[in-house]
Chains A and B, each alone.
Chain A
Amino acid sequence: MALAPPITAIEALQAHPALGRLVEWNAAVVEAVKFDRDELTIWIAKETIREVCAILRDSAACPFNYLADLTCVDWYPSEPRFEVVYHLLSIPAKERVRLKARLDGSSPVIESVTSVWPSANHYEREVFDLFGVRFTGHPNLERILLPDDWEGHPLRKDYPVEGYR
């Protein structure tokens, strides 16, 4: 089974309910799209992430009512360095979509989506703990896996595998 080349044209992918809804609402929030290995990724302007999530959750045709996963990827040393990744699932329509927002390495800050899905609470704390990305509007942004006095954020690429000596 050979891999099909990814599709990156917005027009070719508008049949997907998530992208269709976003383009209908405000096409300017969509920075880029990619359809690769049967999965759709949409890059979102980072200022609008909470609104986009709320729009997708309340979409009538295909409500993405479930936040399956929230994580981050560090692309150090390139800029923008961080990509916050949201995996959404629509339980009634059985559709999935991946949203991404790019953040600068100097001030990785993005709006929290806990007001859209309360389940984002622990995931955002985990990303804050391991990557040092800050979520504004999060009710309780503190370390979750590591001790409170831990130095650094271990999943950053410039953090050595064996830890600092």
Chain B
Amino acid sequence: MTQFPTTVAEAGRETTSGERTLVLNMGPQHPSTHGVLRLVLEIDGETVVRLKPVIGYLHTGIEKTCEAKFYQQVVPLTDRIDYLCPMTNNLAYCLAVEKLLGLEIPPKAQWMRVLMNELTRINSHLVWLGTHAMDLGAFTVFLYCFREREDVLRFFEMVSGQRMMTSYFRIGGLALEPPLGFFEKVKKFADRFPGNVDEYEGLLTGNPIFMMRTKGVARLSTEDAIALGACGPTARGSGVDIDLRRDAPYSGYENFKFKVPVRTECDVFARYLCRVEELRESIGMVQQALAGMPEGPIKADAPKVVLPDREKMKTQMEALIHHFKIITEGFAVPAGEVYQAVESPRGEMGYYVVSDGTAKPYRVHMRGPSFANLQTLAKMCEGGLIADVVAAIGSIDVVLGDIDR
């Protein structure tokens, strides 16, 4: 296996050409670092000799905060971790707690979760595609992507009242029934969207400038991808055939048919192709979810865990008591621990929840996919040009909220 040296940038090292290296600070406010990521680059002319990521600028101690909240109060915190895919975070956390409780989720809630998750993936990939292309000089794609992203955000607003911090999935099911006309609107979008993806591809896939900026750039071999913990499209672009939706299905994903795009070119272009292909697969799954959406309740039958309907709460004594108890005391979760991993747009999003039998989680740990993918950045960039660092950051699709938590 490749040995990975410690990446500590240090100025004044002798280079092969007899010159001395220079340390350059990139970020934390650099526009192409997608948030507040700071990179310390040791450079020899235009070539990157070492790269050291410095993170923590967005650290808000969410894991510590979770320990002081009731289980149901943690759901809104999870939105704020990876703010481009709030529903995926909600899902991972809710699945973990439901597994601890041993709750059975009704089919309609499961299918809605898949539907919203795939819309979230489209939303996240559209932001990635727009900003990645803009970093590489193609501005039009950004406008096109954000046009479609606006449609997806409107769907989020329809079901949850919020565009970004949705908190739509709750422990035991969903917050609300989808409103009237929701499915028709999503159907219209899903019928139109493959044409939009053709548009983006028409602008980028065969574009000679884009190909020169991405082909053969920031390579990451299959062995290195596994050793450095790459996940999601970053790993799949390096030939690692892994997708948790297929390998360890959750929330009814076993009922859906989809392909997992894997490329073996190991460069930025391969990761781009994987994600664009995923856009098409996701919209296929949205179509399947719409076609097969079951009827029935959207919340589990567990009155001590799931809040009662508003009407029942106003008219039935028992429901009122349950409502009062859940809000004031929370609900006790049997002692134990669960690691629930789901496939977020960026890779394996894992929630490790430890319960000590009380109404507050003893420990919640989020395994963020961006945190794992960030470790591959040094390997991708060392030996390349400074300009390619921008392409590499874009290709691993970092979200700093997910890294720093």
A79 at the interface (CB under 8 A from B): no
The verdict on A96 contacting B55 (CB below 8 Å), with A65-B226, A66-B226, A155-B64 known, is no
Q: Which of A106-155 contact B (CB under 8 A)?
A: 117-119, 121-122, 130, 139-140, 143-147, 154-155
> For this complex, into which size category does the number of interface residues on chain A fall?
35 or more
- Cα A6 to Cα B335 in complex, Å, equals 11
Q: How far is the CB of A88 from chain B (nearest CB, A)?
A: 11
Of A118, A121, A155, most B-chain CB atoms within 10 Å: A118
- Cα A41 to Cα B363 in complex, Å, equals 17
Q: Contacting chain A: which of B19-27, B240-248, B380-388?
A: B240-248
Is there contact, CB below 8 Å, between A68 and B228? no
Q: Number of B residues contacting the other chain (C-beta, 8 Å)?
A: 49
Closest to B248 in A: A94
Is there contact, CB below 8 Å, between A3 and B375? no
- What chain A residues lie within 8 Å of B339 (beta carbons)? 39, 68-69, 87, 96, 98
B171 at the interface (CB under 8 A from A): no
Is there contact, CB below 8 Å, between B240 and A91? yes
- Could you list some 26 contacts between A and B, CB below 8 A? A1-B103, A2-B102, A37-B100, A37-B102, A41-B337, A66-B226, A66-B229, A67-B229, A68-B341, A68-B350, A69-B365, A96-B339, A98-B339, A117-B229, A118-B228, A118-B375, A119-B228, A119-B372, A121-B4, A144-B55, A145-B55, A145-B404, A145-B405, A146-B56, A147-B56, A155-B64
Extra pairs beyond A66-B226, A154-B61 (5, CB < 8 Å) = A2-B102, A71-B367, A85-B352, A117-B227, A119-B227
- What chain B residues lie within 8 Å of A98 (beta carbons)? 339
The verdict on A1 contacting B240 (CB below 8 Å), with A37-B338, A69-B365 known, is no
- Cα A155 to Cα B68 in complex, Å, equals 12
List B residues at the A interface (Cβ < 8 Å). 2, 4-8, 55-56, 59, 61, 63-65, 67-68, 99-100, 102-104, 226-229, 240-242, 247-248, 334, 336-339, 341, 348, 350, 352, 354, 362-363, 365, 367, 371-372, 374-375, 404-405
- What chain A residues lie within 8 Å of B59 (beta carbons)? 145-146
A161 at the interface (CB under 8 A from B): yes
Q: How far is the CB of A46 from chain B (nearest CB, A)?
A: 19
Closest to B59 in A: A145
Closest to A127 in B: B365
- What chain B residues lie within 8 Å of A2 (beta carbons)? 102
Checking A37, A39, A85, A118 against B4 with a beta-carbon cut-off of 8 angstroms, the contacting residue is A118
Is there contact, CB below 8 Å, between A122 and B367? no
- Cα A155 to Cα B366 in complex, Å, equals 13
- Cα A61 to Cα B404 in complex, Å, equals 36
- Cα A69 to Cα B68 in complex, Å, equals 23
Is there contact, CB below 8 Å, between A68 and B102? no
- Cα A143 to Cα B54 in complex, Å, equals 10
The verdict on A140 contacting B100 (CB below 8 Å), with A39-B339, A68-B367, A91-B240 known, is no
Proximity bits, A1-45, B CB within 8 Å = 1, else 0:
111001000000000000000000000000000001101010000
Of B67, B104, B337, most A-chain CB atoms within 10 Å: B337
The verdict on A87 contacting B64 (CB below 8 Å), with A2-B102, A96-B339, A146-B56 known, is no
- What chain B residues lie within 8 Å of A1 (beta carbons)? 102-104
- What chain B residues lie within 8 Å of A122 (beta carbons)? 371-372, 374-375
A73 at the interface (CB under 8 A from B): yes
- Cα A2 to Cα B248 in complex, Å, equals 22
Is there contact, CB below 8 Å, between A91 and B226? yes
- Cα A117 to Cα B103 in complex, Å, equals 35
- Cα A65 to Cα B352 in complex, Å, equals 20
Is there contact, CB below 8 Å, between A69 and B56? no
- What chain B residues lie within 8 Å of A139 (beta carbons)? 5-6
The verdict on A71 contacting B229 (CB below 8 Å), with A2-B102, A122-B371, A122-B375 known, is no
Q: How far is the CB of A29 from chain B (nearest CB, A)?
A: 21
Checking A91, A140, A147 against B242 with a beta-carbon cut-off of 8 angstroms, the contacting residue is A91
Is there contact, CB below 8 Å, between A71 and B365? yes
- What chain B residues lie within 8 Å of A145 (beta carbons)? 55-56, 59, 404-405
- What chain A residues lie within 8 Å of B374 (beta carbons)? 122
Closest to B230 in A: A119
Proximity bits, A94-105, B CB within 8 Å = 1, else 0:
101010000000
Closest to B348 in A: A68
